Amino acid sequence: MDSIIEGRNPVLEALKSGRPINKILLLKNIERHGIIADILHLAQQNGVLLEYIERQAIDRLGQSGANQGIIALTAAKEYADLDELLAIPAQKGQTAFFIVLDGLEDPHNLGAIIRTADACGVHGVIIRERRAVGLTSVVEKASAGALEYVPVARVTNISQTIETLKKNNVWVVGIDQAGQSDYTKIDYQPATAIVIGAEGEGLSDLVRKNCDFLAAIPMRGRIASLNASVAAAVVMYEVVKQRT
């Protein structure tokens, strides 16, 4: 389950400390001055989602009986640093294999990707900090326990992260229906990061531009694309196939 922080000062201090917060729940008619104004300002700066709910709902979620009309939901698991992820392949004596998610919003998709990542020996998953799903209890459940074994890093900028991966000799392959190559024709033997775009939108323009390769999954039917978690799984197992 998500960890819960209740009360105005505790939530404010959590934001000030930079603690990863998935969402802040506020009473619908809460006054927006004083500490609440500070919380709203910091939440906006840090790209934290806000949701206004009824008193009954916020009291039901609270555990202390002193929520003061505000609750913060923190990550179900601590995030790893990008540097920690980059060090894992060498520690294991293996060729690097990462999954990068450009704005994924569905927690079920993220959980399913993490589950497949564990099965395929992925060294880490990289997600976007803003306007994307974080490590919620729904993600934890959908991963079927894999979240305990797959480190996840949350970064502010996917394009900059791609540049960092390149500087660490990792080839970056974006999966996009506009790609000129069949995904099976890419050589995944070298250190590789697979980039999967958001549901419905695919890769953002700048991310698409910064990838070393763009590859498409052939579609034989009338539907133009696969679900994000299915597309990720298809490509992950191609990497496993080539490296076996």
Residue 159 has pLDDT above 90, yes or no: yes
pLDDT for residue 1 is more than 70? no
Contact of 202 with 225, CB cutoff 8 Å: yes
Element spanning 127, H or E? strand 124-128
Phi-psi region of 34 (alpha: psi -120 to 50; beta: other; left: phi over 0): left
Residues 6+ away with beta carbon under 8 Å from 196: 99, 100, 101, 102, 104, 113, 175, 228, 231, 232, 235
Whether residue 92 is found in the same domain as residue 135 = yes
Q: Are residues 196 and 235 in the same domain?
A: yes
Q: Which domain holds residue 208?
A: 82-243
Q: Regarding predicted confidence, which is higher, 64 or 123?
A: 123
138 and 196 assigned to the same domain: yes
Q: What value does the mean pLDDT take over residues 71-98? A: 94
Average pLDDT over residues 9-24: 88
215 and 102 both lie in a single domain:
yes
Distances 28 to 22, 56, 58, 241 between C-alpha atoms, Å:
19, 11, 10, 52
Residue 55 shares a structural domain with residue 148:
no
Of 58, 74, 90, the last residue of a domain is 74
- The domain total for the chain is 2
Domain end among 47, 74, 101: 74
Give the mean model confidence (pLDDT) for residues 104-127: 96
Q: Name which residue leads in pLDDT, 13 or 243.
A: 243
115 and 18: one domain?
Answer: no
**What's the pLDDT score for residue 63?**
73
Name the nearest CA neighbour of 179 among 203, 228, 214, 138.
214
User: Which segment of 53-62, 119-128, 186-195 scores lowest on mean pLDDT?
Assistant: 53-62
Domain boundary at 74, 94, 122, which? 74
Residues 89 and 178 in one domain: yes
Task: Indicate if the alpha-carbon torsion angle 104, 127, 225, 207 is positive or negative.
Answer: positive
Across the chain, mean pLDDT equals: 93
Answer yes or no: do 197 and 226 share one domain. Answer: yes
Looking at residue 2, its pLDDT comes to 63
What is the per-residue pLDDT for 140?
84
- Same domain membership, residue 53 and residue 158: no
Residue range 56-79: mean pLDDT, rounded? 87
Same domain? 42 vs 150: no
Sheet holding 181-182, edge to edge: 152-155, 124-128, 97-102, 192-197, 171-175, 213-216, 181-182
Say what the pLDDT of residue 65 is.
80
